[in-house]
Chains A and B, each alone.
Chain A
Amino acid sequence: MQPTERLLAGPPLDGRAETLAGHHARLGGLPIPPAAQMIAALEATGMLGRGGAGFPVGRKWRAIYDRHGGEAPVVVANGAEGEPESAKDRVLMAHRPHLVIDGAILAARTLGADRVELYVGREHTQAVAAMKAAVGERPSHDRRLVHLVEAPIGYVAGESTAVVHYVNSKDARPMTTPPRMSERGVRNRPTLVQNVESLAQAALIARHGPDWFKEAGRGPSRGTSLVTIAGPVRHEGVAEIALGTPLAELVELAGGLIGTPQAVLIGGYFGTWAPIDAAWNLPLDPVSLKAVGLTFGCGLVRLLDASSCGVDYSARIMDFLAAGSALQCGPCKFGLADLAAASGRVAALDARPADLYDMVRWAGLVTGRGACRHPDGAAQQMSSAMAVFADDFASHAHRRRCLAAGAVIGARR
């Protein structure tokens, strides 16, 4: 299978960023269509945001465009990528920084914004360096518009209200909404917080139009998407696929299997698990996955080998997400900690009698009860793991035996 390369077309992904000269030679300058036309084009593509929440991009831009009067908006390009196993945003920023900057400038010019914040996760040192150098290559009018902000490390630091909070007051914790970001965000101005891949896609749509964008895609969702594939495949890493590409073909694109996967986590640490047989021919796109109760999220596709324990893996994710809570909201602070402790005991073959029962109950209790969706995402991953690895959870808890071939239990904690 041939990759469908649009965002990643151009020079090889060898760690070097494309220069401004190379970017212009390949794609030409950035056209700025009339605002109404640009927003209509985004709406026509049906593109959903690529940060994880999947909000329609055109609708997000329109919410700011349609406001009446008031101060100039601010655009924030969100490249925090706190998702530990996802690498697509950092790879994009490290290799195609000018496409991301084009997208951010396009958003600013379309919405009448006079400031762009490039919010880049500081642990992504290659991406930070590439974006910094790329801004330096830009003409002075771009440099006056675009400012780089290094995002602090942390899973919630990329949540949109946390992004605004950090840009405003160096505190990367989510805030209670309302106000909506489209009304009051950075410095109380209307603010567009948009994932860097979404912006890069918009920069291509400005050049080639919505019909070109929709030529790619094999199902209800159109266009291409970056994904990160991890697990027992020959080449783990970032790929660009036409949306709707089946998992089997993505695995082939990644060089084929080098193990025997039993299940797959799709969408990130807030995502959902599926048994490998059920998932193998599933089209990878937000609409098709949602129809079967799964999530596309940030495009992480994490295969779990049969030699690994799903109970242990999901408990480690739960532990990570509990540690990543901003600790502002009670149900998230205490509920995720309890979920992590209980799932850790089950994983370590040391369950208390009520642990499985409590985990189901707590996953329900934390959902929808926070300022942001962190507890919802954490509970979703846990619940889905408990369903897909039901036999393993039961065996761990009741017979104190792990069913995964060769899994080493008790090596942690």
Chain B
Amino acid sequence: MSDAPRLKIDWIACNGYGVCEAAAPDLIVLDDWGYPILPDDPIPHDLMRQAKKAINDCPMVALAWENEQTLTGGRLGRLRGRRANP
């Protein structure tokens, strides 16, 4: 995960709470409807702390590193017994 530090979002899981913006104000802005707009580029070293906080704080487990699983996107969803890919 450290070699390609890009953020990705599971749009089905995201509920637009906006916690990620509060955690990473220099990386994430919210759109007209309160949903995060993520940077396309890899996360620069000095903003890694913000990115990690945004991932950890997301109440929906919707935010992750690009090569990780999110809530409805795979393993995590099944472990938690939530509606996910069957």
- Are these two chains actual partners, yes or no? yes
Residues of A within 8 A of B (CB): 165, 168-169, 175-179, 184, 187-188, 328-332, 334-335, 338, 362, 365, 369-371
* Chain B neighbourhood of A362, CB < 8 A: 32
**Is the beta-carbon distance between B73 and A329 smaller than 8 angstroms?**
no
What sequence of 0s and 1s flags, for each residue 10-40 of chain B, a beta carbon within 8 Å of any chain A beta carbon? 1111111000000000000001111101000
With a cutoff of 8 Å between Cβ atoms, the chain B residues found around residue A165 in the complex are 86
CB of B50 within 8 Å of the partner chain: no
Instruction: With both chains docked as a complex, state the minimum distance between the C-beta of A167 and any C-beta of chain B, in angstroms.
Output: 10
Given contacts A168-B86, A176-B70, contact A331 B35 (CB under 8 A): yes
Q: Which residues of B contact A (CB under 8 A)?
A: 10-16, 31-35, 37, 70, 72-74, 85-86
A370 touches B11 (CB 8 A): yes
Report yes or no: A176 in contact with B32, Cβ–Cβ below 8 A.
no
* B64: min CB distance to chain A, Å: 11
CB-defined A-B contacts under 8 Å, sample of 10: A176-B13, A188-B86, A329-B12, A330-B14, A330-B16, A330-B35, A331-B33, A332-B11, A365-B31, A369-B35
Looking at chain B's contact residues, the main secondary structure is loop
**Max count, chain B CB within 10 A of own CB: residue among A179, A184, A187, A331:** A331
- Among A165, A175, A338, residue most surrounded by chain B Cβ atoms (within 10 Å): A175
Interface contact A178-B74, CB-CB below 8 Å: yes
Which of A177, A187, A338, A371 contacts B32 (CB under 8 A)?
A: A338
CB distance from A316 to the nearest CB of B (A): 23
Q: Considering residues B15, B34, B73, which has the most beta carbons from chain A within 10 angstroms of its beta carbon?
A: B73
Residue pair B12, A328 in contact (C-beta under 8 Å): yes
Residue pair A331, B85 in contact (C-beta under 8 Å):
no
Shortest Cβ distance from A381 into chain B, in angstroms?
20
Q: Contacts A330-B33, A365-B31: A176 and B14 contacting too (C-beta < 8 A)?
A: no
Q: Which residues of B contact A177 (CB under 8 A)?
A: 73
Q: Kindly list chain B residues whose C-beta atoms are within 8 Å of the C-beta of A332.
A: 11
Tell me whether B86 and A176 are in contact (CB under 8 A). no
* Residue pair B31, A371 in contact (C-beta under 8 Å): no
Q: With A168-B86, A331-B35, A362-B32 in contact, do A179 and B74 touch (Cβ < 8 Å)?
A: yes
**Chain A positions within 8 Å of B35 at CB level:** 330-331, 334, 369
Residues of B within 8 A of A370 (CB): 11
A371 contacts B85, C-beta separation under 8 Å = no
A369 and B11 contact, Cβ closer than 8 Å, known pairs A331-B31, A338-B32: yes
Q: Which residue of B lies closest to A186 (CB)?
A: B86
Whether A176 contacts B72 in the complex (CB less than 8 A), given A330-B11, A371-B12, comes out as yes
Do A330 and B34 touch across chains, with their CB atoms under 8 A apart?
Answer: yes
Complex Cα gap A338–B31 (Å): 13
Of B10, B14, B16, B85, which one neighbours A179 at CB under 8 angstroms? B85
Q: Is the CB of B11 within 8 A of A178?
A: no
B73 CB contacts on chain A under 8 angstroms: 176-178
Contact for A329 among B14, B70, B85, B86, CB less than 8 A: B14
Question: CB distance B11 to A331 under 8 Å?
Answer: yes
State in angstroms the CA–CA spacing of A187 and B14 once bound together: 26
Q: In the complex, what residue of chain A is closest to B86 when comparing beta carbons?
A: A168
Which residues of A are found within 8 Å of B74, using beta-carbon distances? 178-179
The answer on a CB contact under 8 Å between A184 and B85 is yes
CB distance from A379 to the nearest CB of B (A): 13
5 closest A-B pairs (Cβ-Cβ)?
Answer: A329-B11, A334-B33, A330-B35, A176-B73, A168-B86
Bound-complex Cα distance A187 to B86 (A): 7
What chain B residues lie within 8 Å of A188 (beta carbons)? Answer: 86
In-complex Cβ contact of B72 among A169, A175, A365 (8 A): A175
Contacts of A338 in B (CB 8 A): 32-33
Partner of A176, one of B11, B15, B34: B11
Give B60 Cβ to nearest chain A Cβ, in Å.
11
A331 to B14, CA, bound (A): 10
Q: Can you name the residue of chain B whose Cβ is closest to the Cβ of A161?
A: B85
Distance, CA A179 to CA B85, complexed state (A): 8
Contacts of B13 in A (CB 8 A): 176
| B33:A335 contact, CB within 8 angstroms | yes
B35 to chain A, nearest CB (A): 4
In the complex, what residues of A have CB within 8 A of residue B85's CB? 175-176, 179, 184
Given the complex of chains A and B, what is the CA–CA distance between A168 and B37 in angstroms? 32
Max count, chain A CB within 10 A of own CB: residue among B11, B34, B73: B11
Which chain A residues border B15 with CB–CB below 8 Å?
Answer: 330
The complex places the Cα of A306 from the Cα of B74 at a distance, in Å, of 50
Set B10, B32, B86: member contacting A365, Cβ < 8 A: B32
Smallest distance from the beta carbon of B20 to chain A beta carbons, Å?
13
